[in-house]
Amino acid sequence: MCELLAMSANVPTDIVFSFTGLAERGGVTGPHVDGWGISFYEGKGNRTFKDACPSSESHIAELIKSYPIKSEIVISHIRQANRGCVSLVNTHPFSRELWGRYWTYAHNGQLTGYLDKFKVSRFQPVGYTDSELAFCWILESVVKQFGEQEPDDLNAVFDYIAGLADEIRQLGVFNMLLSNGVDLMAYCTNNLCHITRRAPFGKATLIDTDVVIDFSKETTPNDVVTVIATRPLTNNENWVVLNPGEWKLFRKGELIRS
Amino acid sequence: MCELLAMSANVPTDIVFSFTGLAERGGVTGPHVDGWGISFYEGKGNRTFKDACPSSESHIAELIKSYPIKSEIVISHIRQANRGCVSLVNTHPFSRELWGRYWTYAHNGQLTGYLDKFKVSRFQPVGYTDSELAFCWILESVVKQFGEQEPDDLNAVFDYIAGLADEIRQLGVFNMLLSNGVDLMAYCTNNLCHITRRAPFGKATLIDTDVVIDFSKETTPNDVVTVIATRPLTNNENWVVLNPGEWKLFRKGELIRS
C-alpha cells in the first residue's frame, strides 16, 4: 500500500505543511519507504520531484519541505511497493501529455487480473506497476471516446473516467488522484478523505510530527484550499471520508462535481 | 539564445562538475536568466528538475550542484527567452512518452515561419515555444513513419529524425539534444561541441567558475563519459566542434552513429 496527498487551491499555495506530515510516513511513522514523488502545477506548467529512497531520508524531500513552491494543484505519493520493484521508473506520480495539457496521476492500492483488460498502444507504461498501466488504459480509453482534440465539455470526460475507475475497482483496490492542471479528481475504493479550508482560518496540528500551523497567518480571506489524503494529516480538523466508489472533482479548491 | 548541456556515460555518473559551469552562465557569466532545467535518466526512469528563475540564483540548482545524482544520460538547458514568455511551461527539457520510453529534448536557437509546417495532434505542445512545437512535430512524424510499436531498428529512427532536423534547420537555428533513455542524439546548426573522457583521466578546469576536478579520482579505468555543450565548459581539454547539419548519436558514452 501507499499514501496519497493532493491539493486544489484558488490561489498559488504551498503544501509544505501537509507534505511535512506525509513525508514522515515514508519511514518514520509509516512503512512507505519505497520511494516518493510530488507534482506541482504552476499554471499549465508542471514539475515533478521523485526519489526512489524513503521520503524521510531524501535530500530532495528536504528541499520540498524547506522551499515553498506555490502551486494551484499538487499530487503526491509515497510508495510501499507491491507490484514493480523499487526504482525511479516505478515511482508515482506518473504524467502524460494529452490535449496540450499534462495529466498527472497517482494510485494507492493493488490490482489483480488486469493484463487482459489493460490493452494499450498509444499510451504505454515505461515502468512495471499495475498503477501506471491503469493510467495508460484510462488515457487510451479517453482518446478512443473523445478523440485527439480536447472536447468543450470536460465534465463529460471526468464522468467517463469515473466509469472507467468503477471498472478498475472490480480488480482490487483503486484509490486514485488525477489532474489535467485545471481539475483535480479523487476516486475512492477504501481510503481517501479531504478537507476544505477557508476563512475564518484557524490552527492545525500534524498527526505525524510535532508541527502546528496557524493558517490565518499564511492566507488571505479569499483563499480556498482543499487537501486530499489517504488518512487525515491533522488531528484537530474534521476530514470528510469518501465512500467506496465515490469520486469528487475539485477546481480552484471548490467541489464542482461528484 | 540558450545553452545546452548533455552527457552519455557507460556507468551511472554525476554531472555536478559540468552543471556547475553551465549554471554560472544563467546569470553570472552568461545572460541566460529565463529559467533552466535538467533531466536525468536512471535506467528507464527519468526525472526532470526545472525552474523559471535564473540557474545562478535557483534553490533547486543549488541542490543539483550539491547532490550528485548518478545517471547514464543527462540533458540540460538554460534559457534566454525569445519565443514564449518566461514561465515553467516554456522551460526545457521537454518530455513525452513514446513506445514505452520517455523521450527528452532541448533546443537552442530560434525558428521562423514554422506554424504551417508543424501540424500536430497526437503530440501537442503545452507551452508556447517554437522549441516544444518542433519536438511534438518530430515525434508525430516518427509515429506516422514507424507506427505505435517500437521498431527493432532504432538506428533507422534516428536517421529519420536527422532528416526531420535538416528540414527544421531550413527555418532557422536548430541545435538539438534528444534522448530516448538509451541513445543521445546531438544535432548542430551552429553551436555544439563535445568531448569524450576515458582513461587515462586527467584534471579539468571550468571556464565559468573557479573549479578544478581530477577525474582520475572520480572514475574507474573502464568509464567512458561524453559531454556535449553549446560552448566548451573547460579550458584545458580539446572539445570537438560539430559542423552545420552534422549530427552524432552516442550510447554508453561512445559515438555509435553520425
Assess if residue B29 is contained within a domain. Answer: yes
Q: How many CB pairs (< 8 A) connect A and B?
A: 90
> Cα A199 to the chain's mean position, in Å?
24
Lowest-pLDDT choice from A165-174, A195-204, B27-36, B63-72: B27-36
**Residue B69 burial (CB count, 10 A):** 22
For the question of an ipTM over 0.85, the answer is yes
Measured between beta carbons, which residues in chain B are less than 8 angstroms from residue A67? Answer: 59-60
Contact A89 B50 (CB under 8 A): no
Q: How far is B80 from chain A (nearest CA, A)?
A: 18
Is there a domain that residue A258 lies in?
no
Of B1 and A23, more confident: A23
Q: Is B2 a catalytic residue?
A: yes
Average pLDDT for B146-174: 97
pLDDT (mean) for B137-161 = 98
Degrees (nearest 5) of the Cα angle B45, B50, B54? 150
Chain B partners within 8 Å of A102 (Cβ): 126
C-alpha distances (whole Å) from B226 to each of A5, A129, B7, B93 are 40, 32, 6, 19
pLDDT at A108 over 90: yes
> Which helix (H) or strand (E) is B24 found in, with range?
helix B16-24
pLDDT at A253 over 90: yes
Q: Do A121 and B148 touch (CB under 8 A)?
A: yes
Task: Identify the contact set of chain A against chain B, taking CB-CB distances under 8 A.
Answer: 42-50, 52, 59-60, 63, 67, 87-91, 96-97, 99-102, 121-127, 148-149
What are the pLDDT digits (tens) for B72-83?
A: 999 999 988 777
In a domain, residue B177? The reply is no
Whether the predicted pLDDT of A112 surpasses 90: yes
A18-27, B34-43, B166-175, range with the lowest pLDDT: A18-27
How far apart are the CA of A218 and the nearest CA of chain B, in angstroms? 22
Name the β-bridge partners of B8: B73, B226
pLDDT higher than 90, residue A90: yes
Taking contacts as CB-CB distances below 8 angstroms, the residues of chain A near B47 are 48-50, 88
- pLDDT of B30: 82
The answer, yes or no, to whether residue A81 has pLDDT greater than 90, is no
Percent of chain A residues past pLDDT 70, beyond the cut: 100
Q: Which of A47, A96, A99 is the closest to B97 by Cβ?
A: A96
B27: left (phi over 0), alpha (psi -120 to 50) or beta: left
The answer to whether residue A1 scores a pLDDT higher than 70 is: no
Work out the number of other CB atoms within 10 angstroms of the CB of residue B235: 11
Cβ-Cβ contacts under 8 Å, A39 against chain B: none
Q: What is the pLDDT of residue A38?
A: 96
- Expressed as residue numbers, the domain containing A220 is 3-249
By Cβ distance, the residue of B47, B100, B122 closest to A50 is B47
pLDDT at A13 over 90: yes
Q: Which residue of A has its CA nearest to B87?
A: A45
Chain A nearest-CA distance from B181, in A, is 11
pLDDT band with cut points at 50, 70 and 90 for residue A210: confident
Identity of the residue in B47, B89, B122 whose CB atom sits nearest the CB atom of A45: B89
Q: Which helix (H) or strand (E) holds B63?
A: helix B59-66
In a domain, A48, yes or no: yes
pLDDT digits (tens, 9 = 90+) for A28-63: 888 888 889 999 999 999 999 999 988 888 889 999
Task: Supply the CATH number for residue A14's domain.
Answer: 3.60.20.10
pLDDT digits (tens, 9 = 90+) for A152-184: 999 999 999 999 999 999 999 999 999 999 999
DSSP B35-59: -EEEEEEETTEEEEEEESS-GGG-H
Residue among B44, B50, B87 whose CB faces A89 most closely = B44
Cα–Cα dist B196/A226, whole Å: 51
Measured between its terminal Cα atoms, the distance across chain A in Å is 25
Query: Are B78 and B32 within 8 A, CB to CB?
Result: yes
Give the DSSP H/E element, type plus range, for residue A165.
Answer: helix A154-169
Instruction: Please state, in angstroms and rounded to a whole number, the distance separating the CA atoms of residues B223 and B226.
Output: 10
**Smallest Cα distance from B41 to chain A, Å:** 9
**Mean predicted confidence (pLDDT) in A118-122:** 97
Q: Which of B65, B88, B119, B179 to mutate to test the interface with A (most CBs of A within 10 A)?
A: B88
Instruction: Categorize the per-residue pLDDT at B136 as very low, low, confident or very high, splitting at 50, 70 and 90.
Output: very high
Choose the closest CB to A59 out of B42, B67, B87.
B67
More confident residue, A186 or B18: A186
The SS3 assignment for A214 reads strand
How much is the pLDDT for B127? Answer: 97
Q: Is A60 close to B67, i.e. CB distance below 8 A?
A: yes
Give domain status of residue A150, yes or no. Answer: yes
Residue B45 with chain A: CB contacts under 8 Å:
50, 52, 87-91, 126-127
Is pLDDT at A10 greater than 70 in this prediction? Answer: yes
Partner-chain contact A45 B125, CB within 8 Å: no
As a whole number, the mean pLDDT across chain A is 94
* B225: phi then psi, degrees, rounded to nearest 5: -135, 120
In a domain, B225, yes or no: no
Contact A97 B124 (CB under 8 A): yes
Least CB–CB distance from A126: residue in B87, B100, B127? B100
Provide the terminal-to-terminal Cα distance of chain B, rounded to the nearest Å. Answer: 25
List of chain A residues whose C-beta atoms are within 8 Å of the C-beta of residue B182: none
Chain B positions in Cβ-Cβ contact with residue A96 (cut-off 8 Å): 97
Indicate the SS3 state at residue B216: helix
Query: Can you list the positions of beta strands (E) in A43-191?
Result: 45-51, 71-78, 94-98, 101-108, 175-179, 183-187
Domain count, chain A: 1
- Nearest CB among A43, A48, A149 relative to B87 is that of A43
User: Are A149 and B90 a contacting pair at CB < 8 A?
Assistant: no
Identify the burial level of A160 via C-beta atoms within 10 angstroms of its C-beta, where 0-12 means exposed, 13-18 middle and 19 or more buried: middle
Q: How far is A185 from chain B (nearest CA, A)?
A: 20
Position B1 scores a pLDDT of 67
Q: Are A2 and A108 in contact (CB under 8 A)?
A: yes
Q: How near does any CA of chain A get to the CA of B118, in Å?
A: 14
CA distance B243 to chain A (A): 34
Give A73's contacts in chain B (Cβ within 8 Å).
none
Q: Does residue A255 form part of some domain?
A: no
**CA nearest A101 in B: which residue?**
B126
Domain membership of residue A257 (yes or no) is no
